[in-house]
Amino acid sequence: MDLKSYNFKNKRALIRVDFNVPIDNNGNVTDNTRIKMAIPTLEKILNDGGSIVLMSHLGRPNDEPNKEFSLSQIIPSLESLLEKKIIFCSDCVSDESFKTTKNLENGSVVLLENLRFHKEEKNGDKDFAQKLSNHGDVYVNDAFGTSHRAHSSTSLIANYFPNDKMFGLLIEKEISCVDKVLNSNLHPLTAIVGGAKVSSKITIILNLLDKVDHLIIGGGMAYTFIKAQNGLIGKSLVEDQYLDLALEILKKAADKDVKIHLPTDSLCCKEFSNDLEYNIRTIDLIPNDEMGLDIGPDSIKIFNNIIVNSSLILWNGPMGVFEMSNFQNGTISVANSIVEATKNKAFSLVGGGDSVAAINLFNMADKVSHVSTGGGAMLEYLEGKELPGLHAIRN
Ligand code: AMP
């Protein structure tokens, strides 16, 4: 079943959205991207003449009501983006909330309070899911960011809508973008992986080896690969327990004719600090008392050349400690190369926590093809796992 062709007239659409947005100490939404991206689905339903009940989680409230995590804080942001008054229910399964949603007028939009004020949400509780299902006639999952969780509102609830369940427009777009990268015949396909640890990205790297032509590895994780090949990495970040696996990955890549590109040089500092001098070092000749905190100019040149000549690009994880100004350049340069490739008609997908934070920091989000809203979900999808939230709709 597909949202675009479904007619929502006189229907109450119960939508799982991902309104888990950052909120400051004064209760203001500091980044409304996730709310903005949910709007097309809501507009389609309202234009058809239906009504909407929105459910989401916000933060980690420890299974009980907590003002700090109240979704009421996002109402001004939602109202201004949707240009509509929102009806708020201060508990997602209270009698009051069911009274409100039972006879909803077409065109109305209800927002339920944070689902995670009830422990049953995360526990994946059948009864809780069934209760929630009474809020709507049709279930729409548009929360890509939580689709890797088998929670009541993301997965179990779909059982109560055997004939009326579908993806929202945002999830559809997210899936089609990742599928485009994973299943396309366009080449060269380049994946750029960075960030702190090899351990958190191993399954992705292994899965990508079957698809990509080039794999660029930067960030802290690169040093484990350099040390595995007997390079001298000084005090750089390393996971000694993954040295053998790093060698195995290099061998697998060679067997599959995937070109792995590690940095050739590195910006090195005596401490993890933005205030000290730093030196450019050859990547495998870092002095004992220094650590690599960003890729160097030679690596940037090599990576840029590969990226701008790619047709498909996937980027996950920064090239260095981009939070410190001295060590941003590698990540900015890679982002610039991706933007340049995108201008030259490449399809570029940026996903996973910190690369999204970086691309937003550099104001480049609208210059790549797609920035994924789902950090963990996107990573698990790239690992080749079937996500419970997607499975629940498809089956
Ligand atoms: P991840 O969450 O695994 O994608 O890692 C992101 C984090 O990796 C960011 O906070 C970066 O500051 C950090 N990072 C990137 N490169 C390095 C490096 N060379 N040394 C230490 N941390 C790094």
Separation of 197 CA from ligand 1 center, angstroms? 7
Task: Assess whether the C-beta atom of 292 lies below 6 angstroms from ligand 1.
Answer: yes
pLDDT at 184: 85
Q: Is the confidence at residue 375, as pLDDT, over 80?
A: no
Q: How much is the average pLDDT of 88-102?
A: 98
In this chain, the answer to whether the domains covering 12-167 and 174-382 adopt an identical fold is: yes
- 65 φ, ψ to 5°? -55, 140
Residue with tokens 């053998």: 244
pLDDT at 160: 98
Task: Assess whether the C-beta atom of 78 lies below 6 angstroms from ligand 1.
Answer: no
- Cis peptide bond prior to 65, omega within 30° of 0: no
pLDDT in tens, 44-62: 999 999 999 999 999 999 9
Which residue's alpha carbon is at the smallest distance from atom 5 of ligand 1?
Answer: 195
The span from the CA of 180 to the CA of 109, in Å, is 33
Q: Is the confidence at residue 222, as pLDDT, over 80?
A: yes
Q: What are the domain boundaries of the chain? A: 12-167, 174-382
Active site residues: 34, 197, 353, 376
pLDDT in tens, 134-172: 999 999 999 998 999 999 999 999 999 999 999 999 999
Separation of 221 CA from ligand 1 center, angstroms? 8
**What is the residue type of 48?**
D
Q: Is the confidence at residue 101, as pLDDT, over 70?
A: yes
Q: Is the confidence at residue 376, as pLDDT, over 90?
A: no
Q: Which of 221, 293, 354, 360 gets mutated to test ligand 1 (max ligand atoms within 8 A of its CB)?
A: 354
pLDDT in tens, 191-203: 999 999 888 888 8
Q: Are 310 and 368 in contact (CB under 8 A)?
A: no
Three-state SS string over 43-81 comes to HHHHHHCCEEEEECCCCCCCCCCCHHHCHHHHHHHHHHH
The sign of the torsion formed by the CA atoms of 275, 279, 282, 287 equals negative
- What angle do helix axes 353-361 and 375-382 make, rounded to 10 degrees? 120
Q: How much is the average pLDDT of 371-382?
A: 84
CATH code of domain 12-167: 3.40.50.1260
Q: Is the confidence at residue 228, as pLDDT, over 70?
A: yes
Q: Is the confidence at residue 352, as pLDDT, over 80?
A: no
Tell me which architecture the domain covering 174-382 has in CATH.
Answer: 3-Layer(aba) Sandwich (3.40)
The span from the CA of 106 to the CA of 361, in Å, is 40
Q: How much is the average pLDDT of 256-275?
A: 98
Mean pLDDT of the chain: 95
Q: How much is the average pLDDT of 317-328?
A: 96
Task: Assess whether the C-beta atom of 376 lies below 6 angstroms from ligand 1.
Answer: no
| 252-260 LR contacts (CB < 8 Å, sep 24+) | 252/206, 252/209, 253/209, 253/215, 256/209, 256/210, 258/209, 258/212, 258/213, 258/214, 258/215, 259/213, 259/214, 259/215, 260/214, 260/215, 260/217, 260/225
Task: Assess whether the C-beta atom of 195 lies below 6 angstroms from ligand 1.
Answer: yes
Task: Assess whether the C-beta atom of 317 lies below 6 angstroms from ligand 1.
Answer: yes
Percent of the chain with pLDDT over 90: 86
Q: Is the confidence at residue 353, as pLDDT, over 70?
A: no
Residue 89, helix vs strand vs coil: strand
